[in-house]
Amino acid sequence: MDLSMTAEKTGKAGDNHPSNGSRSRASRSPLPPDNADEKISMAGQTSDQDDDDNSYEDAYSSKDSSPAPSARNFTALDPLIHVPASNAERTMALKYAAPFSTDPVAKEELEKVDYSVQITKDMATSGNVTRPVRIYADGIYDLFHAGHARQLMQAKNAFPNVYLIVGVCSDALTHSLKGKTVMNEWERYESIRHCRYVDEVCSDAPWVLTPEFLQEHKIDFVAHDELPYGGDDAEDIYHWIKQAGRFVATQRTEGVSTSDVVARIVRDYDVYVRRNLARGYSRKDLNVGFMKEKEIRLAEKMGSMRSRGKKLVENIEARGQHMLKKWEDKSREFVDDFLDLFGQRARMNRMKQIWEVGTERIKRALSPAGSVEDVSSDDATRRSPSGSRKRRRRQSELSEDDEEAPPSPSDEHH
């Protein structure tokens, strides 16, 4: 039954309920392969933990319910979930869906159960049993969610060796006593069949459990949360089961229920209508009037225009920031060049050049002739273009003087 069943499943019926063909649907369900009974049957299976391990009660019977989603820390350890320490302790995923109670494999499993000896809680907890403990949990299971899965997980792990049977009420019974469901009965049956904790599905389950029903399915314990669950004629329909010591308490998952999921959809109705219209659904499919459809489509177009306008403004701002950054870089280079030419650094460079030139002139004036400085300066003059021109001019003048000079007597004599 749903973890939040006290808020969802209101108004209990009597023992007799109309049939709507759900059992014939179960008989027409696809059967597993011939060896599926070996895969699905829980007979002879041992616990994932040793029989003397007492962690079941600690891990799955915590009195503290899980916190609401808004306050839940998903990185913290969940007191209701036991994480295996290794793959040797872990059962791998199943390959087949759970059978219906009317399927041959479920009937074969039922026939193997020795129901002559009633299993007590002490026997089930210690693992001192010769067969799997048969636990029954029932509910509507509309819009199957995490709260449902966590309830079935707790029921499956209530004892070391459990065969979990889940009863799902039919559409006719649910609609007459509670109201319309979102999913039809076939969808709800299939959701439960494909939950890894479930070993068997009982379709068209009764609204109120009776000793005859428990005897028919050889049920040892019934799993539900501890809060009283009232019906038409009783304050708590599970009272007689609790008094018989055949009740297993599960913890609720606060903030997660079918009603909460429906409330989220109703709260954001326009958002989901726009979503489905955009995906190709017609207004008739969504039961939306003509004017409402036009209003929603207009709002969608306005939202699209606002989105494009926002992106345009963001692009303009990004480009503006880029241009501003580029201008700042260029202006910084311009300021540096200006300071090199006219700023304090330029004045310092000019003063340094004047000082170096003045220092060189003073050295030349104070140095004696033929000093190293003069020689080096003469060498520099020879190496310079102006020094080369002076040497060529001096040589030409010397050659002219030699030609004009008269010959000496000694030369004439010779």
**Range from 341-345, 364-368, 389-393, 408-412 carrying the lowest mean pLDDT:** 408-412
The answer, yes or no, to whether residue 199 has pLDDT greater than 90, is yes
The confidence band for 317, taking pLDDT boundaries of 50, 70 and 90, is confident
- The topology (CATH level 3) of 5-67+93-261 is Rossmann fold (3.40.50)
The answer, yes or no, to whether residue 405 has pLDDT greater than 70, is no
Task: State in Å, rounded, how far the first CA of the chain is from the last one.
Answer: 150
What distance in Å separates the CA atoms of residue 167 and residue 203, rounded to the nearest whole number?
6
Over the chain, what is the mean pLDDT?
74
DSSP-assigned letters across all residues of 335-372? HHHHHHHHSHHHHHHHHHHHHHHHHHHHHHHHSPTT-H
The answer, yes or no, to whether residue 346 has pLDDT greater than 80, is no
The answer, yes or no, to whether residue 247 has pLDDT greater than 90, is yes
Q: Is 228 helix (H, G, I), strand (E, B) or coil?
A: coil
Mean pLDDT within 16-41: 36
Residue 224 pLDDT: 92
Residue 101 pLDDT: 95
Beta bridge partners of 253: 66
| Residue 337: burial class (beta carbons within 10 Å; 0-12, 13-18, 19+) | exposed
Structure tokens at 150: 């966590």
What distance in Å separates the CA atoms of residue 156 and residue 159, rounded to the nearest whole number?
7
| 373 φψ region: left (φ > 0), alpha (ψ -120 to 50), beta (else) | alpha
Residues 6+ apart with CB under 8 A from 140: 2, 5, 8, 9, 168, 169, 174, 178, 181, 188, 258
CB 97 within 8 Å of CB 36: no
Beta bridge partners of 202: 167
The confidence band for 328, taking pLDDT boundaries of 50, 70 and 90, is confident
pLDDT, tens only, 350-399? 777 888 888 888 888 887 655 544 544 555 555 555 556 666 666 666 66
Element (H or E) spanning 312, and its range?
A: helix 290-342
The answer, yes or no, to whether residue 168 has pLDDT greater than 70, is yes
Residue 269 pLDDT: 82
The answer, yes or no, to whether residue 181 has pLDDT greater than 70, is yes
Taking each helix axis from N to C end, the angle separating 372-383 and 385-404, rounded to the nearest 10 degrees, works out to 90
Beta bridge partners of 225: 250
The answer, yes or no, to whether residue 46 has pLDDT greater than 50, is no
Alpha carbon 227 to chain centroid, angstroms: 33
Mean pLDDT within 289-301: 78
CB 238 within 8 Å of CB 222: yes
What distance in Å separates the CA atoms of residue 181 and residue 143, rounded to the nearest whole number?
9
Q: In terms of residues, how long is the chain?
A: 414
Q: Check residues 215 and 53 and name the one with the higher pLDDT.
A: 215
Highest mean pLDDT pick, 68-82, 91-105, 334-348, 398-412: 91-105
Residue extents of the structural domains in the chain: 5-67+93-261
- What is Dmax (Cα atoms) for the chain? 170
The DSSP secondary-structure symbol of 226 reads: S
| 167 φψ region: left (φ > 0), alpha (ψ -120 to 50), beta (else) | beta
CA distances from 180 to 42, 151, 203, 306 (A): 35, 23, 18, 39
Residues 6+ apart with CB under 8 A from 198: 98, 152, 156, 164, 166, 192
